[in-house]
Structures are given as structure tokens and as C-alpha cells.
Structure 1
């Protein structure tokens, strides 16, 4: 009779719709369970914690959380299994099969992991329907998650207009999120997604604040004539194109503690000197960008290390026999540095390009154009403009160090701010045992940058006032003019953040992981992991998001493959299995750094264009051949040899020799640099 009742209820539900069906479920549930109800949520596990999602895809696995409720409280005594119709799991042959039933509840709830959804699903208790889940929005096919970032990237290269490209990509993604409706998608783009990209994320507001502060600081330095004095003095020290490029590279290595500070300070400091020596804006942007994320990501004291150690500590669960306990996150971080091939090779490649004065591809054309007198392309859309007319600048000679003092104060204040905030965020017990890298890792780098950039502005304003160069009103006007020059760059940055948020809602990263997993042998794992991280970071424009997405998957997957291959039992500090594990984890971090380095929608790529006053698409297109070269060398000379059992130091030496060969075979100097090149050889 109960089965007959259930069949009647289902038939009525199909005929009369969800509202009547819900009433019947509530009635049936109250009869069977005396007020028993079920709450259903669909989401994903982030750092081991369940997070609900608003949009589902049919092609990736989700986590379904079911709670038994009595009234408004969880019923901890409920342990019975449930039957489910409408949920699927992956069968042994790779096909979706119905889930059928759940295991017993634990403490009144259950998490169903790795389940696929194609529409609504129904819960049954003792053969009777007790709850139904209906998606808030249409469940999308997986391929839709790739379209918005790919369309934005393709349009940016075709139209050479990144604002339009980003907006169209955002609009398409919003239309998908609005059940393919382009009208409501456009409305949501304007009134929700773009606004939410910085209003819902304090980090983004802080980035805008310190960017405006630094832009205004440079405006005061330029208007006061301090920059003119620095360039005049610097011309005596930095006299050649080689020395200008090497100085930029060296300064980038010195500001190792934060990629944002590195990008803005190095670009804005070196631009007047590189302009004077006819180094193209594209080359400057490449030098700046290549010493930002690559150096900050491997520095033992940086704003990156806190996030990296946090992910490692959460997910590093292997206990090799040569360690008495689970590997310490910082110890694992140090062990992985030699396996961070992309970051290491990028820094060396930049040095080789600057030292040999050899370029290839679009960069060589940009350098040739710069030597002919055009620092930027004639119709380039530069993101900042500090080309102040002589009448706007004070041309009196001042001590050259006055231009550097605000920058030096900013750098020291960033370091001091990181230390102060790190100490503030640590308990007394932890502080007594903390190392410097622990303190820096616990700091909020964006807070420190806001404090430091404001101090930099005050320093520049005070110097301009105390030397009687600018009046107070002129100082304010100079700051406004400098900050205003960043408007286009910040607009692009906001749109890039918005597209990244759209990709997050569409689960772009999860879809890429899903379509690329489950087919690789152990020896190729580090290479595939690096390439997958690179693709995800390039498509989404976020390195930290890529780390958070892949590390929880890669570490258990590598461990499982090592166990299957019989490598886990004999792991030592020099064993093949340990090298595979370290290089796989390092591949995630290095691949994420690649995306942060060269994705056109990455914030650091945009900020490199901004700090160098370079057309953004010109920066991306000239940098891409160099970035792809070092990425290819990272795979061919780094991760593949590691997978084949070769030593990591052999891979590094092999990679360096390969880079030298590539530069000498593909690169060529400008005719104007020929004498310097001949003297070098």
C-alpha cells in the first residue's frame, strides 16, 4: 500500500507541478517522521570545507549535503539510508550510472561526494518521497564554462581592444548564468557582476587604493622635477641599453617580497631611464612582469609564502619513511624550490636576453622601432601617461636622491607594515616560536601596501614643499594628475576581476580538471600538472585560485599513483617517488605562476602594462613567445626528465644550456647594439 501511495504521489507531482508535489512531500514526511524534513545543498569542497554553489554544470562532480531536520534544528539521531532518483556517479567504465541509495547518515547529515546532476532529484525514505531539490538556474553543459575567457582572449588579440574584449566575455558569461538570456545577462553584468567584483572583495578595493596612491606619488615626483634630476644623474651610471635592462632586472630581484609592489615600483622607477636609452615599452613591461610573480613565488620571505604554505599544510598528507612526522610545510616548500622550473628559468632567461641584447619575434620588432625613435607603437593605447610637457615640470636641478626617497620609504614601509601586521595576527605563543617567514606569511600584504603607499605620497609631498618646489595646491593637482593617468588601467583591472569572478561561478577550473584527469602514467604526471595549472591560470587570470583548485586534487592523486606504482614504500629524500611528488606539487605552483605572469586578464599583467605605460595587448603579444619558450623548456628539460628519473640539478643545468642555445639561434641583436654584442663575445 505504501508503494502504491508513493506512486500516486509521484504521478500527481508530475501532473500538477512542483508546488503541489512539495505539499505532498511535506505531508508524507510529517506522517512518516513526525515533523522530519530534509535540507539539501549542492556545492564543492574548498580546503576541506563545504561551500554551496549557485550554478551547476552537468559535466563536473559536485558534493550534495543532506541534513535531517526536526523543526529548525538538525536531528542528530537520524541514521537511516535514503534512496535518490536523479543523481549519478561515475561507473567503472567511465559512464554515468544512477547513484541509487545513500549510506547511513552520521550525526544527522551526509555528504555525497563526486555526484553528477542533470536536473532535479528526489529523496525517498522507506519508498516514499520526502524531499526534492530543484536547481535555481538551468544546469549548464561543461563547455559553456570555457567560452567566456576564451572569447575575451581571442577578441583581445583580434581587436587589440582589451576593454571591449573583456566586456564581451563578461556579458557572455553572465548570459550563461542567466539561463542563456542575453538581456538579463547584460543587466546583471552592469548592476551586479562588475560592481560586485570590487565591492564584495576588500582586496580589490585596497589594490585600487594603493595603485592610485603610487600613481599620485609619481605625479608629484615628476611635477617637482625630482624625476628629471634622477634621470640626468642616472644617465651617467646607466649609459647603455644593456645596463638599463640589467638594472631593471636587478631592481626586480631586490623587491622580492611582493609582486604588486615589485611591478609598480620597478616599472615607474626605471621607465624614464629606459625611455632615454630607447628601450621599448614592451621590453620594459616584460622585464617588470618577469621579475614580479616569478621571484615573489619562490622567495622564502614574501607575501606569497603565507598562501603557499597554507595550501601545503592543509593538503600535504604523505608520511615518507625518512621523516618522523608529516612533512612540515616550510620544509616541503624549501625542497620544492629547485623543482619550480618555470620561475627559475624565467629569471635566468630575462638575464640572458638583457645581457646578450638578443631578441626574437615581436619583441625584436618592438626594440627596432624603439631604436628608431618610437618607444611605443604609434597608435598604441598606453595605460598610463607621464609624458608631461616641459612647461609642466620644474627643471631646476635637485639632489638626485630626492626622487628615490619616496620610493625607498615606500619599500621600507611595506616591509615594516608586513612585519607589524604579521605580529598583530599571531598569538603570543605562536609569536615566541615564529620565524620571520612565519610573521610575513601571516601578514595582509595589501594592508601594508596601502599604508606604505600613503607614506610614500606624504614623503614626496613633504620634499616638494620643504624644498619650496611646489605649493600645496600644486602638490594636490600633481597627485590628481598622476592618479588620473591610471584610470584606463584600473578600468581594465576591474573588468579582469569581473571575468575571473564569472569563471569562478561557471567552474571553469573544475571543468578543466575534470576533462584532463584519469588517463596519465606516473612519469608524465609532473608535466601534465604543470601544463594544466598553466592553462587554468591563463584562462582564469588567477594564480592563487589555481593553487587552491589543484593542490587538493594533485597531492592525493600523486600519492595514489605512487602507491599503485609501488613507490611509496621505498621513499627516501633522494628517491624517484619523492621527486615525483615534489615536482608534481611544484608543477602546480610553477604553472600558476605562468598564468599570473602572462595571462592578459591577470592583474599583475595589467599592472605591468600600467607601470610601464605600455599598450596592454602589445605587452601580452611581445611577452608571449618568451613565456612560452621558458614554459616549453620547463617541461622538456625539467619535468619530463624528472619523470624519467633524472636528477633535478641535471634538469636545471640542461635547461640553462637550452635557453642559451635558443637565444643565440633564434635571437639577434639590433644593428645599433652590434658593437656591444661583439665586445661581449
Structure 2
């Protein structure tokens, strides 16, 4: 089977998602094609394509089902999916108890969220401060940002952009989190001859131009209040529409919201996230453990203050989980297509194709572009790092480039591809946390990501001429 065929499944998923605006259908078709190609390359003794194609497609459909089941064999995947369901319950309880409404009211009274600009900056600040884990950062900032953006009639698409373009760039810059531990593990396993891999990771921060430019664009949007491209058109269409204030709408007449019903579980969740991350070294474990404890604490607070009965809490909890089931399904499919494309060799083909023509001054720009393409087509920045760091680090050493410079190009490209991809799990979480339609989020964020990406490529070209 020609290697170039490995690029077709993710491309099919992306084209169908954009064309039909049905992400579930797009991902399912992508997985089916990928599994059919995997089956097809192992078939022997088939004389005619008219026999081989139907047979491989039939077997590929069965393999697609097995691939979806195998997602749960990875503990990290299962923990992330459970985490999403529990977060749905926690968010619902915070909203219907009036905790989010009370917190927003207090922030407004303190003058920290009494204008559009301050509402945007506060949301961005929470995303920056909760830097330990990308999903946690998105969800924490989203819980605060949703009622604020609704109050000032700012679109959910703008909120999704602020969340997505703050949380992942911050995580890949600070690196005192699961991202940093994962990257260090990749560098240590690769045996590239670094005496102190941690120094390489730290030196990459200043060269991570994509993350820096992306955060700058978010700050510009929050401070100026201006939007551009598809996001501007969406905001113009929604400017006259009434956006429901979900927490207030769901608040029973007898309930007086307390900010503590949101703040206490949220602070506990973030604090335990740090402790569990230090203890386990696993991002998926730490987020699941911390949100579980935070949910239990939140339930106990509501029972203590007689906000809801136990039965009402269960009903609200199920309702919150139900709201996130579509996102859980999308993440399940995203995990499956990522694993299938890795087995098919999509990432290796893209890396080898781009790496076949590299003059010195184009090493970093093309590594950035290659990482972006891999991340875009597979929907995973971490998978991109695993594919491209073993390719990029020796390549950079052969050209005499600083390892931190090369590493930054790979890391930034992975995040860039995530921001552009409709099948990325981080993009899905941002859509979930903001309550924005997923494809609308991808479409409105794309011009900003492309702007930061183009600026990054130009900076890497300029740096390559002088290093």
C-alpha cells in the first residue's frame, strides 16, 4: 500500500466535518477508512480490487468497533472520559445552586468584572493561573466566563477562543505540569546526549513564539474588545439576540446562591490537582482524582446548607452528565481516530515527507509546519510530540541548532495544529467549557491561529538566518 494513503482518513474526517457540519459522522468515517486501509495492507492472495475493496471495508467496519472498545483499554483515555462526566455534574451543581451567579455578582461589585474588558481579562487571568492542566484550566475559566460573557452579550464563540488560546499555550510555556513531565520523558527516552534535559525544556520557553503570539492576540482581543474574521461576523449576528443566563434561569426560588458553592470546590479542585500531579506524575489521574474530591465536597456543602435534597442533587448530577455526553462521544471518537492513524503511520509519513528537504534556515519553520500538520490530522499535540521529537532533535543537532530552539518549534507546532483541528480533544474541551457549537469554535478561531502561526514561521526563518 502506498504510504501517502495514510493521510486520507484524517483528511476525510476534516472535509466531512467542514462540509456536513457533523463531527460524529466525520470521525466515524475517518476511523472506518483508516481501519479499512490497515486491513487492506495485510490482505494477501486477493486477485481483484473489486474483491479486495469490499472485503477490506467490511472487515474495517468490524475493526472500527473494536478500535472504539480498545480506547477504554488505555487508562488515561478512560480517566479523561470519566473526568468529563464528573465535570458535567460539578458545573451543573455550581450553576443551579446559584454559586456561579453569586461569584460573578461579587466580582462585579468589587469592580473586577464590571465591563466587557475586565470580564475578558478576568477569564483570561483564570486560564493563566490554573496552568497545571489544560482541561482543568479551560473548565475553570469557562465556569466563570460563561455568565460574564452572557451578561455583556459577548458571544460564546469569543469565549471559546479565549479559553482555547489561553490554556494550551500557557501549559506549554510554564511546563511545571504534566506537559513538562511528558516532554522530559520523551527527551530522556530518546538518549540525545543531553546532560540536563530539564535545561533543554527550560531553554525552549523563550523560543516558543506561537504560544507567546497566541497569548498576545488573546490579550489584545480582551483589552481592545475588537474581533476579526469569522468571529467578528458571528458577534455581529448575535449582537441583537438575547443570550439566556443559564445559572439564573435554573435557580429555584427558595435558593439564595453563595459564592462559596462555586469557589470552595473550585479551589479544592485546583489545589488537589497540583498535589496529585506531584504525587502521581500523571495528568489524567490528577484531574480525575481532584474533580472527584471536589464534586464530593460540593455535594456535601449543598446538603449542609439545605440547598437541595439528596434526590435533587442526583437528578441535577445526571442532567449535568447528560449535557456532556455528546462531548464524551466526540472525545471517544477522537481518541480512536488518533490511535488508528498512529497504527496506519500517518504521522511518520508526514514527518518523513517534510524532513526530506530542509535547508538550514528552514529547519525550524518546517518542523513547526510538520508538527502542525501532524497535530491537525491526528488531533493530538502529545502524539505529535512523540512522533516528531525523535525526528527533530537529531535533525537539529546535525545542523548545529540549539536544542531548545528545535524543541520549541515542535511544541509550538503541535499546539498550532490542535487549535486548527476539529478533532482535537483540547478544542473539544474548549467548546464544552464555553457552551459554543464545536465547528463554530473551530471556524472562528482559525484566523487567529493562522495569524499567530504565520508570525511564528517568519520569526523562525529570521532566527534561522542568525543562529
Same fold per superposition (TM over 0.5)? yes
Deviation of 1:531 (Å) = 0.7
Q: Equivalences for 1:85-234 in 2 at 5 Å?
A: 140-179=1-40, 180=53, 181-190=56-65, 192-197=66-71, 199-234=72-107
Question: In the alignment, which residue of structure 1 is the partner of 2:209?
Answer: 341
Task: Select the structure that is richer in strand.
Answer: 1
Does 2:279 match 1:404?
Answer: no
Cα distance in 1 for partners of 2:391, 2:148 equals 46
Q: Structure 2 residue aligned with 1:418, among 262, 277, 282?
A: 277
Deviation of 1:537 (Å) = 0.8
- SS at 2:276 equivalent: helix
TM-score, length of structure 1 as denominator length? 0.64
Does 2:155 match 1:280?
Answer: yes
Deviation of 1:551 (Å) = 1.3
Deviation of 1:375 (Å) = 4.9
Cα distance in 1 for partners of 2:209, 2:314 equals 46
Q: Which has the higher contact order (CA 8 A, sep 6+)?
A: 2
Q: Equivalences for 1:236-251 in 2 at 5 Å?
A: 236=109, 237=111, 238-251=113-126
Shift of the 627–487 alpha-carbon distance from structure 1 to 2, 3 Å rule, reads: same
Cα distance in 1 for partners of 2:332, 2:261 equals 33
Deviation of 1:269 (Å) = 2.7
Q: Equivalences for 1:401-550 in 2 at 5 Å?
A: 401-421=260-280, 443-550=281-388
- Larger CA Rg, structure 1 vs 2: 1
Deviation of 1:297 (Å) = 1.1
Question: In the alignment, which residue of structure 2 is the partner of 1:585?
Answer: 407
Shift of the 407–285 alpha-carbon distance from structure 1 to 2, 3 Å rule, reads: same
Shift of the 395–230 alpha-carbon distance from structure 1 to 2, 3 Å rule, reads: farther
Cα distance in 2 for partners of 1:353, 1:227 equals 24
Does 2:179 match 1:304?
Answer: yes
Structure 1 residues without counterparts, runs of 5 or longer:
1-139, 319-325, 377-385, 422-442, 563-576, 647-681
Structure 2 residues without counterparts, runs of 5 or longer:
41-52
Shift of the 339–391 alpha-carbon distance from structure 1 to 2, 3 Å rule, reads: closer
Cα distance in 2 for partners of 1:496, 1:399 equals 38
Cα distance in 1 for partners of 2:381, 2:156 equals 25
Question: In the alignment, which residue of structure 1 is the partner of 2:49?
Answer: none
Task: Select the structure that is richer in helix.
Answer: 2
TM-score, length of structure 2 as denominator length? 0.92
CA RMSD, Structure 1 to Structure 2 (Å):
1.9
- SS at 2:436 equivalent: coil
8 Å contact kept, 1:223–1:394: no
1:483-522 Cα shifts (integer Å, max 9, x gaps): 1110111111111111111111110011112222232211
Cα distance in 2 for partners of 1:642, 1:610 equals 38
Shift of the 455–147 alpha-carbon distance from structure 1 to 2, 3 Å rule, reads: same
Shift of the 207–624 alpha-carbon distance from structure 1 to 2, 3 Å rule, reads: same
Cα distance in 2 for partners of 1:391, 1:631 equals 41
